[in-house]
Amino acid sequence: MSTTNNSPSPTTNVTERLALLRAAMRRHRIDAFIVPSSDPHLSEYLPTRWQGREWISGFTGSAGTFIATDTFAGVWTDGRYWTQAESELAGTGIALMQIRSGGSVQYIDWLAENIEPGQTVASDFRVLGLATARLLSETLAARGITLRTDIDLLDEVWSTRPALPSHPVFEHAPPYAHTPRSDKLAQARAEMARLGANAHFISTLDDIAYLFNLRGADVSFNPVFLVHALLRMESATLYVQAGKIPHDVRERLHIDGVELAPYEEAADALAALCAETTLQVDPRHITAGMRAAVGREAHVIEAVNSTTLAKSRKTVAEAAHVRITMEQDGAALCEFFA
């Protein structure tokens, strides 16, 4: 005997969400709205709160950019996902825009060609990479198009948007962590001194997890947690949700000169930096929103995060752990194939 399923189809959900977004765009006089696959840490794999491109379009691939105007909607993604995107976008009214090799920001060219001078493009600069925001701003300004970055329309239309993840943080300890946190912090400060900086702001989750020997579970299949870090010559502050770091871990962090502050206060801390501060930031790994928050009196040095190179240098013991892990991974894959 057959049964009737009265639940809305995924296509219906996407169509309704797109209608809500366009209504919000009209209220705010926005002619095009961009939803990147990103979060405030420019992560590749995202906590559910920032899976807005997937929510609005129905496309579940890990990379892509969604743009909506009043008459057009499209997802730009690369060749890994074309077949998947064709299937998931079918019937939604959202077009697949194929990114060819080397054209990861070709949607910016599309905006310059299809948005009229005097119109407004918007995106939330809290999740927009600094380098991308600079290119977007320059390209649109040359066409007389306004770029608005102070609004997140998803907050207005996504009524069931997930909260920040609350999974606990734990220490990455011996025998797997072979370099103490204090040594890693000392190495980072030595690089700051070489560059002439006395403060260093880091947002990338893997860099912070490495530097502070901490791990978490805020992102599926990634041992990281949501956090920003402000490193100074004599102290460090982790901006993390209250209750995520257990008391015993907090005490050991305190011994190493690491204090905790609320996650949402990271931008305020940057705004409060004084004229005596020379701040190091990595322009490829900071959002436009966080860069804009830096106090005008502070001097900024743009340089690659020192942890980028440090993570690549494995000790003999660390290399041995990598080999063991790959052996286990290979065995599991062979078992699955068999």
Asked whether the predicted pLDDT for residue 288 surpasses 70, the reply is yes
Give the pLDDT confidence of 142-157 residue by residue, as tens digits.
999 999 999 999 999 9
Sequence-separated (6 or more) residues with CB below 8 Å from residue 9: none
DSSP state of 212: T
Count how many Cα atoms sit within 13 Å of the Cα of residue 298 in the half-sphere of its side chain.
Answer: 24
- Give 73's pLDDT tier (boundaries 50, 70, 90): very high
- Give 105's pLDDT tier (boundaries 50, 70, 90): confident
Between residues 178 and 103, the one the model is more confident about? 178
Q: Using CA of residue 202, residue 206, residue 211, residue 217, what is the dihedral sign?
A: positive
What global pTM score does this model have? 0.89
Go through the domains of the chain in sequence order and give each one's CATH number. Answer: 10-157 (3.40.350.10), 170-325 (3.40.350.10)
**Which tokens go with 248?**
């015993």
For residues 42 and 285, the answer to whether their CB atoms sit within 8 Å is: yes
Nearest to 90, CA basis, from 132, 124, 118, 58: 58
CB burial string 299-329: b at 16+ within 10 A, e below:
ebeebebbbeebeeeeeeeeeeeeeeeeeee
Side-by-side strand order, sheet with 73-78: 95-99, 73-78, 65-69, 32-36, 120-122, 146-148
Neighbours of 264 (CB within 10 A): 11
What is the total residue count of the chain?
Answer: 338
Q: Which SS3 state, helix, strand or coil, does residue 156 take?
A: helix
Give the model's pLDDT for residue 1: 42
Give the pLDDT confidence of 200-216 residue by residue, as tens digits.
999 999 999 999 999 99
- Give 50's pLDDT tier (boundaries 50, 70, 90): very high
Residue ranges of E strands in 110-163:
120-122, 146-148
Rounded percentage of the chain residues whose pLDDT exceeds 90: 88
Rounded CA separation 164/240 (Å): 11
In the beta sheet, which residues pair with residue 6? none
